Structure 1
Amino acid sequence: MQGSGSWSSGILLICEVQAWREKQRFTRECVRDEIRALKEEKHATELHLESLQVPFMVISQCLSNRDQRVPPELTRDQLGEELNKELHIAENSKRVLMDVCHMGWEKIKELTNVLCRLEREIKNKDETLDLEYHVKDLTRDSTDISFKLDPTRVPTESMTEESYVHCIENTIKIAEQLMSESKTLRETMFKSREQARNQMHAQSQQVELIMRRRVFDIQRARNEMEWQKYKLEQNLQKVDREIETVRAAVADKINPTKLVETRLETRTRRPVLERVQDKPMRGLIEEFERVHMSHNMLEKKLEEALTTYHGMFNHHGRVTKDLQYKNQALETDRRLIEIRKPLHSSDETEFKRNVGYCHMSDELVTD
């Protein structure tokens, strides 16, 4: 009867150990799958993190290119603010992705540790089952049975049955908790990647819109300044002709002035008794005053024309210099379009981007 009881207890123990081993094997496979999935998600996040190097390079090149503007055009504008905002978004996305990648590495390490723990416990149970099967197969006629010194002793570091079950359950519980945390982390990685991608795309669209609007505004201002320069050149030619005309008129007044002054001076040499304030004398004096008044008016007109000419000439110089600054600023901002080409996909044409900027996709008639 005692042999039958030991036999039944051995069978129950083997069944219990096998049940725990199967549960740990299932948990081990789940942990392996979770490690594989987490590594794939971490690899995808690292690839996206590497892809941020292109926007970093493009944004930095755009900012350094805009710093080459001359001081009159070197101002804080909306385009500069949007580029700095885009750089801030890229830096923040890089920081967030690096943090989740580090968290993923830590979680993979923890999952690997619990996987090793499970494999060690499964290996121990395999050895235990081998021993239990060997004990079960022993009979009175077995050749390897013998007397032992102290077969009833309790081995060191032995534990109770409750502690044994608690240890197994604790390992499985830790593995399940780590897998739950890993799943949450994978969702966080995916969310961080998509959020970074959406934020970068939205900000890139905003920068492109502001950039093209600025190019349009500068080009319009440049065209207005060219028209202003053209009108100034025409007015300068007109004023120059007027100056030449007035100078010719002033030159024409020289001989009449000499004539009337010579006549008046000559009449002063008449004898004393002939020096009469007669009608010819009064006529010469009136002619003298009229000639000098006309000469003074022409001189004043010439001075005003010269002042106007010099003012227009100086303004023309300032407009010419400002026009050079505008052309340099326009060329600088136009260069940004070429610099930002690596941010666009290869199949994205200029027309498609313009449609996206203007939100006209719903208004176009498709073929």
Structure 2
Amino acid sequence: MATMSMKPGLRCRVPDWENSNKLISDTAEHRRHVSHEIRQEGRALRNETANKTSWDEYDSSRRLNDRISDVTRWKKSLEACVQDVNAEIDALTLAKEETERALAATVLPLEVTAECQTLREGRRGSELVSDPVEAELKKEVDVIDGAQRVLQQLIDQSFEQLCLLQEAHHQLTLDLQHKTEALDVDMSCLSLTVTSPEISLKPNPIRVPPGSTTPQQWEQFSHHNVIRAKEEMQTSLQLRENISITRAQVQNELEAQRIATEFALRKRTHHMEQALQEVQWQLKTTQDEITEMERDIRGLERDMQAKMAPLKLVHTRLENRTKRPGVDLCRDEVQFGLVEEAKQLDSTIQTLKQKLAQALDSLQSLQHHEAQMLEDLSRKQEALALEQRTAQTRTRLSLTGQSATMSMAADPLTSTGGRLKLQQA
């Protein structure tokens, strides 16, 4: 059997061997020490991170709770403000509708006044007077025109204020909707736990979404919406009070003018009735005088006719006595008497003729004035009838005035308690 030849290996010395063993032991001990420190640090880190994670989760939940409380508080404030705005919109809408009805109610008085003016234009002759009734009717037209302008202005202001209230209401409801949605989101986040099945990792969860605001901006936004709504409600409340006061003033002015016009109309009617009675009395006495004058004229004519026979007699006697012959053609007492009688009869007849002419002139003058009085009486009767028709036409305003007064009494002014409530909200 052949003998195997082996190459002797590289040998180390004993110190090297001991050093190698010591190095191994030292390295093992060092590694164990490092491992022990790492394990201790890992356990401490686990405890610390577990506590930190629990605390952060608790703190986030607390912050969510606080945020939910803030949002809930603002949500309740917005809801209360929305209710107040709705109530104010309803109240202002009602005031606007009542003002529109008040404006529509002025159409009838204006028509009645115009009709009264047209009726009174039917007066004729001297009865077509610029009297106090005409002045009051013109003033009534001016008062109604002024009332219509004021009421229309209030209606326009109410419409504009309603638009502002609607805009504020829109902002409030939009903010309230956002608060409700944000509250739902935060409530959902608060309900999540580490065991919830819907949790998952999201890409870039710590990004800042576009349009993000600061808490100060968030609170200022809702505060601005509430303050603006309260300011609009305060303005609306003042407008409603102004509407109530103005409507009452307008109604009082219209009623006062209606009363003044009807008083002037009654006074004028009374004066016309007196004038008509005076004309009727004067006409009757004039007609009586005409009758007496006609009777006297007939008497004068009869007397004149009666004087013709004596005149013929004296003329005949005088003429016959001129036929006396010779010395007997004497201007005796008979002659003087007959001449005097003839002159007296001529004078009497002439006087009667003059008196008859005067009587005829007076009769003609009386008859002419009678015709004038008849015409004037006719005009006065027509004018009085027109005044009575005017008064009858205006009776429609009395019923309207009573209805408007009842409406104003049923619409009290808004109390200052509402204003105080708005200021305290």
Which TM bucket (shorter chain)? 0.7 to 0.9
State the match for 2:150 in structure 1.
96
Report the residue type matching 2:392 in the other structure: E
State the match for 2:92 in structure 1.
38
Residue correspondences, number: 347
- Within the candidate set 303, 310, 314, 2:357 is matched to 303
Between 1:311-320 and 1:50-59, the stretch displaced more is: 50-59
Determine if the alignment matches structure 1 residue 325 to structure 2 residue 384. no
State the match for 2:291 in structure 1.
237
Determine if the alignment matches structure 1 residue 20 to structure 2 residue 74. yes
Alpha-carbon distance in structure 2 between the residues aligned to 1:345 and 1:284 = 89
Normalised by the length of structure 2, the TM-score is: 0.76
- Within the candidate set 276, 280, 286, 1:222 is matched to 276
Alpha-carbon distance in structure 1 between the residues aligned to 2:160 and 2:246 = 17
Deviation at 1:26, TM superposition (A): 0.8
- Within the candidate set 199, 203, 218, 1:145 is matched to 199
Determine if the alignment matches structure 1 residue 184 to structure 2 residue 256. no
State the match for 1:362 in structure 2.
none
- Within the candidate set 149, 174, 182, 1:128 is matched to 182
Q: Secondary structure at the match of 1:344?
A: helix
Deviations 1:283-340 (A, max 9, x none): 3332232221111111111111111111111111111111111111111111223212
Normalised by the length of structure 1, the TM-score is: 0.87
Deviation at 1:264, TM superposition (A): 4.1
RMSD: 2.2
- Within the candidate set 246, 254, 272, 2:308 is matched to 254
State the match for 1:76 in structure 2.
130
Report the residue type matching 1:26 in the other structure: A
Report the residue type matching 1:151 in the other structure: P
Alpha-carbon distance in structure 2 between the residues aligned to 1:246 and 1:71 = 39
Report the residue type matching 2:129 in the other structure: T
Alpha-carbon distance in structure 1 between the residues aligned to 2:304 and 2:86 = 106
- Within the candidate set 109, 134, 140, 1:55 is matched to 109
Alpha-carbon distance in structure 2 between the residues aligned to 1:194 and 1:282 = 101
State the match for 1:169 in structure 2.
223
Report the residue type matching 1:170 in the other structure: H
Q: Secondary structure at the match of 1:179?
A: helix
Report the residue type matching 1:218 in the other structure: M
Deviations 1:168-197 (A, max 9, x none): 111111100000011111111211222222
Between 1:263-272 and 1:7-16, the stretch displaced more is: 263-272
Deviation at 1:18, TM superposition (A): 1.3
Larger Rg: 2
Alpha-carbon distance in structure 2 between the residues aligned to 1:106 and 1:37 = 15
Deviation at 1:268, TM superposition (A): 5.3
Alpha-carbon distance in structure 2 between the residues aligned to 1:181 and 1:237 = 82
Deviation at 1:21, TM superposition (A): 1.2
Between 1:110-119 and 1:170-179, the stretch displaced more is: 110-119
Alpha-carbon distance in structure 1 between the residues aligned to 2:179 and 2:129 = 75
Alpha-carbon distance in structure 1 between the residues aligned to 2:265 and 2:240 = 37
Report the residue type matching 1:316 in the other structure: E
Determine if the alignment matches structure 1 residue 159 to structure 2 residue 208. no
- Give the unaligned 5+ runs of structure 1: 349-367
Between 1:16-25 and 1:277-286, the stretch displaced more is: 277-286
Alpha-carbon distance in structure 1 between the residues aligned to 2:355 and 2:105 = 71
